[in-house]
Structure 1
Amino acid sequence: MTTPAAAAAPAPVVHEPNAHANQFALLGQRRFAPFFWTQFAGAANDNLFKFAFTVMVTYQLQLSWMPPAMAGLVIGALFILPFLLFSATAGQLTDKFDKTKMIRFVKNLEIAIMVIAAWGFVRADAVVLLACVFLMGLHSTLFGPVKFAYLPQVLDSRELTGGNGMVEMGTFVAILLGQVAGGLLVALPQIGHTTVAVACLLLALVGRGVAQAIPPAPATDPSLVINWNPFSETWRNLMLARENIVVFRSLLGISWMWFFGAVFLSQFPSFAKEVLHGDEQVASLLLVVFSVGIGVGSLLCETLSRRQVEIGLVPLGAIGMSVFAIDLYFASRALPPSAGMGLGAFVHQAAHWRVMADLALLSLFAGLYSVPMYALIQLRSQPTHRARIIAANNILNALFMIGSSVLAGALLGAGFSIPQIFLFTGIANAVVAFYIFMLVPEYLLRFVAWVLSRFVYRFDIKGDEHIPTEGAAVLVCNHVSFIDAVLLMAASPRPIRFIMDHRIFKVPVLGWLFRLAKAIPIAPQKEDPAAYEAAFAKAIDVLREGDLLAIFPEGAITRDGELQPFKGGVMKILEGARAEGIEPPVIPMALTNLWGSYFSRIELRGGQQVAMAKPFRRGFFSRVGLRVGAPVPPQEVQPETLRQRVSSLLSA
């Protein structure tokens, strides 16, 4: 059980200067670089060891009790088993102890395992090496929660997406290099086994040496009492995650991505041989293309998200995953039969380039899908429970990957071809993604805001660091168009609840969108006193829950493009909040250059004003902006002074 004292957050880690530099600049900072290279070395060693052992069993040893066709399955199952058995314990240990000490302990364990594995390689002892596979699975189980709990403790919220993108990219590059090196080294005549043994031990030592430079990362729940029962602890962790529905559904979304990816990765050897008619080099090429795609997609997340946690990329990623998985079926289903091709002959045929493009783009969109989800979980999870929630996610990932193997085997047994399995997976991904986005509308809303702010307008934001990353706050903004709320959504890394004129809910599409965003409808007091009071009661509830509340104090969309007088609604909200013991800061904001655009009003002949007419009256990618001012203490807020602050932002 966690004591009340343990629930307090630890002292924040002091970040180095240049905290908001781009993701590559993180490699020059001590808080990130040693950690990055530690996990890189560990992932490379995992895969060098496993792949060399798989090749050895498949091509070099004659084991009656483990035929070559079963080697990959047995090794993979042994590696995943510790995730099911020990993830819950690993999450507790990570929350209870300093994360840097945990990392060093895990790297010490890796050295010990690799000493045993070296002996197994030199003696060509498959039993010893199988035991080391299980132990390396334990190593990865212990490191997983540390990896994802360490980042939010040392990175700012604006760096989380870039940091996760770098880690995701580094992991897949390390996997690729490890597998290539393992396959090449173990095949060396006479010295292959010894060379692999030396390489594994050296990588473990390098990883431990780099880990020594990782700065301290204090425990987030040092008073935690360890529950050694993995089943009850796993259930408890899942219940913790369910307290935040967005986090819980994101865990399921990530596990689905592992299900999706495992289907493709597990079928690459058979796909290369039976469908593409290629040799082992072609299978390796597919792995390279897939890994590069994941890496590129992961790195693109920071650029596409304006360096904030942008979960609007998740629906984009899901759409791309389905589109290119389905196209892979059409690209590969009718390839003419031929003798086994080498790498040169394979890349010489134009039809194969479409297959490789589908794989590259499918994996690129998988990177866009997964990185924001990981960053969201890190940002929204309670710090004292973060590692345990991530550990629960690791268990779900393992179960979903096992499920993908069972389903793929069942489909093959039912007579499905490999391209048909890809088609089935692509369609299933579309269904699952749609279901998740309906359950958690925030993903869909952020996607709409992301598309609108990049493909309808060129949206320039200044001062967004003033939007609080946690705690209640009231955002006040001028009201220029019907999509002001959507643009504010695009500027904030956190969900915003809006108070909006009840009439806007009658606008087709936009009304549905704002209902999905749980916007609070308000009617004039004279028109509907009950609705008026209910709106302010709901607004206080939003602030009580520590969320962001936005209001347009002019009360209506401007009819001439000028800033109108502010009404007293913001004062009523602050008075109600003060009565509840809440003192939220007020953040002035100003939308610029929106007047005259498609979604604002325009005056037609005869004086009639309409919106959403003449869609190209401002051309494509019209430049608009948002200026965010410094927070104003609630006791200093008056409608006129607040209006002056917004006016000064408009003229800045």
Structure 2
Amino acid sequence: MGRTQLTLFATRRFLPLFVTQFLGALNDNLFRQALIMLITFRLAAEVGMHPAILNNLAIGLFILPYFLFSAVAGQLADKFEKSRQIFWIKIWEVGLMLLGLVAFHTNSLPLLVAVLSGLGLQSTFFGPIKYGILPDLMKPDELLGANALVEAGTFIAILIGILIGGVVVLQGDSGGLMISALMILVAITGVLSGSMVPKTDPAAPDLKLDLNIFRATGHQLRSAWQSPIARPAIIGISWIWLYGSIYITQIPDIVKNRLQGDETVVTLIIAGFSVGIGVGSLLCAKLLKGQVSAKLATPALWALGGVSLALCLLLPPAPEVDMSNTPLLPMAAFIASPVNILIVVALIGVAITAGMVIVPLYAVLQAHTPRAERSRMIAANNIVNSGFMAGGTIIAAGLIALGLTTTGVLILYAFANILILPAAKRLRERLNAL
């Protein structure tokens, strides 16, 4: 991590925003993982439904607001002063966490899912502000480093939320109350840090709001598609989010059915994957020396595909006999195998190269979008991200249902990186021509 990146933590221009977004990501994942574990081990049996169905429904309702309300969120972020919006969004989060306390106390599945959807809606409104305000607060040579820290912090927060949320909520009858108390404390701290984010002038105070979500969404997507810089940047960002979601979704199956590892091994690999994205985010800022550029995108995409294929070659074939009664390996036994260590290293390598692609593209999108339109462009990016992740996951599930192995899906997506290379090349050429 470069000196410039470290010094950002000593500034009021960056630290309050970083803490606020970190705590928001932490709370989202604390609640989401707690709900997934509660559904899996308790609530699904009580309502007589398969846990996978309920979990997918819950996650779908978390993502749905990104599709429906990102366009409105982007308009509000551009029209009004951003730091004040951050404060009130964090107050909103406290209210959701208090409602979550009631939901956990009563074990009400509908209320728990409603709170999760509310968190998705809150994140929908926070995202365009978070990425839209960074260029206002940062100097040009700080923007890439700030994005790297935000991205790294987000994935560390996701990791902590997954690890703590799933464990605490199942600690007897008091687990729900314990996780609720923690989330309320995190939300209140987020209000305090959010109140310290410096004020900025509204980007587009005269903007006329269009509250028709479908018309506004269509308009913002068209604007993004017509931009020679934004279009390839958004395609690249969305591809990496899709790629990451495919891996996170397949990791439990790979660990259990290919590597014969138990839940501690799943935790180890998800932790390594999250840290890897953070390392890649910081590494790209170091390599680019603060320059907002897309020149790393093409080599990083090639590396992403290559490391992914290497991982697939290391994975053992699917067992030909039923292994359901075979004892699963705990973490200590798993890492005793040199091949398994190589597999973990390869997975971390996938994450590092993904982080090296996504962070410069976020900085490009921010730096080369007019200030008056920046948050709306971020909102358009969020819509496309959600579409890519949903579509990619559905395609992967369909291919597996048709008989393709998990390894086959990963190989297919590794080769699909080639389809993104032209967009990366065009973006680099257009930036060089400016």
Q: For the superposition of Structure 1 and Structure 2, which TM-score range results when normalised by the shorter chain?
A: over 0.9
What corresponds to 1:68 in structure 2?
A: 51
What corresponds to 1:36 in structure 2?
A: 18
2:17 paired with 1:57: no
Tell me how far 1:290 sits from its aligned partner: 0.5
What corresponds to 1:420 in structure 2?
A: 408
| Cα separation, partners in 2 of 1:263 and 1:324, compared to 1, 3 Å | same
Secondary structure class of the residue paired with 1:367: helix
Tell me how far 1:253 sits from its aligned partner: 1.3
Counterpart residue identity of residue 422, structure 2: Y
Asked whether the 8 Å contact 2:298–2:425 carries over to 1, the reply is: no
What corresponds to 1:442 in structure 2?
A: 429
What corresponds to 1:249 in structure 2?
A: 232
State the alpha-carbon separation in 2 of the partners of residues 341 and 174 from structure 1.
27
Alignment of 1:233-248 (within 5 A): 233-248=216-231
Asked whether the 8 Å contact 1:316–1:368 carries over to 2, the reply is: no
2:90 paired with 1:103: no
Counterpart residue identity of residue 256, structure 1: W
2:45 paired with 1:48: no
**Which has the higher mean CA deviation after the structures are superposed, 31-40 or 332-341?**
332-341
- Structure 1 segments, 4+ long, off by >6 Å, are none
State the alpha-carbon separation in 2 of the partners of residues 105 and 420 from structure 1.
46
2:179 paired with 1:192: no
Counterpart residue identity of residue 37, structure 2: V
Secondary structure class of the residue paired with 1:202: helix
Deviations 1:524-567 (A, max 9, x none): xxxxxxxxxxxxxxxxxxxxxxx4xxxxxxxxxxxxxxxxxxxx
2:385 paired with 1:397: yes
Asked whether the 8 Å contact 2:259–2:316 carries over to 1, the reply is: no
State the alpha-carbon separation in 2 of the partners of residues 242 and 441 from structure 1.
17
Choose which of 1, 9, 24 in structure 2 pairs with 1:27.
Answer: 9
Choose which of 148, 153, 159 in structure 2 pairs with 1:165.
Answer: 148
Q: Which is richer in strand?
A: 1
2:295 paired with 1:358: no
Choose which of 386, 391, 394 in structure 2 pairs with 1:406.
Answer: 394
| TM superposition score normalised by structure 1 | 0.64
Deviations 1:136-177 (A, max 9, x none): 000110011011101011111211110000000000000000
State the alpha-carbon separation in 2 of the partners of residues 37 and 307 from structure 1.
22
What corresponds to 2:241 in structure 1?
A: 258
State the alpha-carbon separation in 2 of the partners of residues 34 and 66 from structure 1.
43
What corresponds to 2:100 in structure 1?
A: 117
Choose which of 308, 328, 334 in structure 2 pairs with 1:340.
Answer: 328
Secondary structure class of the residue paired with 1:216: coil
Asked whether the 8 Å contact 2:304–2:354 carries over to 1, the reply is: yes
Higher relative contact order at CA 8 Å, sep ≥6: structure 1 or structure 2? 2
State the alpha-carbon separation in 2 of the partners of residues 306 and 87 from structure 1.
32
Secondary structure class of the residue paired with 1:28: coil
Tell me how far 1:410 sits from its aligned partner: 1.1
Asked whether the 8 Å contact 1:118–1:200 carries over to 2, the reply is: no
Counterpart residue identity of residue 90, structure 1: A
Tell me how far 1:440 sits from its aligned partner: 3.6
State the alpha-carbon separation in 2 of the partners of residues 282 and 288 from structure 1.
10
Asked whether the 8 Å contact 2:294–2:427 carries over to 1, the reply is: no
State the alpha-carbon separation in 2 of the partners of residues 226 and 65 from structure 1.
45
Asked whether the 8 Å contact 1:276–1:335 carries over to 2, the reply is: no
Tell me how far 1:333 sits from its aligned partner: 3.3
Counterpart residue identity of residue 245, structure 2: A
Residue correspondences, number: 427
State the alpha-carbon separation in 1 of the partners of residues 367 and 317 from structure 2.
46
What corresponds to 1:310 in structure 2?
A: 293
Tell me how far 1:65 sits from its aligned partner: 5.0
Asked whether the 8 Å contact 1:313–1:369 carries over to 2, the reply is: yes
State the alpha-carbon separation in 2 of the partners of residues 90 and 409 from structure 1.
31
State the alpha-carbon separation in 1 of the partners of residues 301 and 34 from structure 2.
34
2:432 paired with 1:495: yes
Secondary structure class of the residue paired with 2:261: coil
Secondary structure class of the residue paired with 2:420: helix
Counterpart residue identity of residue 421, structure 1: V
What corresponds to 1:272 in structure 2?
A: 255
Q: Give % identity.
A: 34
Counterpart residue identity of residue 44, structure 1: L
Counterpart residue identity of residue 121, structure 1: F
| Cα separation, partners in 2 of 1:441 and 1:165, compared to 1, 3 Å | closer
Alignment of 1:502-521 (within 5 A): none
RMSD between aligned alpha carbons?
1.6
Deviations 1:29-68 (A, max 9, x none): 0010000000000000000001011111111232335421
Asked whether the 8 Å contact 2:143–2:292 carries over to 1, the reply is: yes
2:367 paired with 1:379: yes
State the alpha-carbon separation in 1 of the partners of residues 309 and 410 from structure 2.
7
Asked whether the 8 Å contact 1:328–1:419 carries over to 2, the reply is: no
Deviations 1:474-516 (A, max 9, x none): xxxxxxxxxxxxxxxxxxxx524xxxxxxxxxxxxxxxxxxxx
State the alpha-carbon separation in 2 of the partners of residues 205 and 386 from structure 1.
29
Tell me how far 1:438 sits from its aligned partner: 4.7
Higher Cα radius of gyration: 1
What corresponds to 1:133 in structure 2?
A: 116
Choose which of 94, 117, 126 in structure 1 pairs with 2:77.
Answer: 94
What corresponds to 1:206 in structure 2?
A: 189
Asked whether the 8 Å contact 1:333–1:419 carries over to 2, the reply is: no
Asked whether the 8 Å contact 2:230–2:369 carries over to 1, the reply is: yes
State the alpha-carbon separation in 2 of the partners of residues 243 and 36 from structure 1.
31
Deviations 1:201-230 (A, max 9, x none): 111111111111111022100111110112
State the alpha-carbon separation in 2 of the partners of residues 257 and 335 from structure 1.
27
Tell me how far 1:288 sits from its aligned partner: 0.4
What corresponds to 1:599 in structure 2?
A: none
Asked whether the 8 Å contact 1:48–1:178 carries over to 2, the reply is: yes
**Which has the higher mean CA deviation after the structures are superposed, 27-36 or 181-190?**
181-190
Asked whether the 8 Å contact 1:107–1:207 carries over to 2, the reply is: yes
Q: Which is richer in helix?
A: 2
What corresponds to 1:433 in structure 2?
A: 420
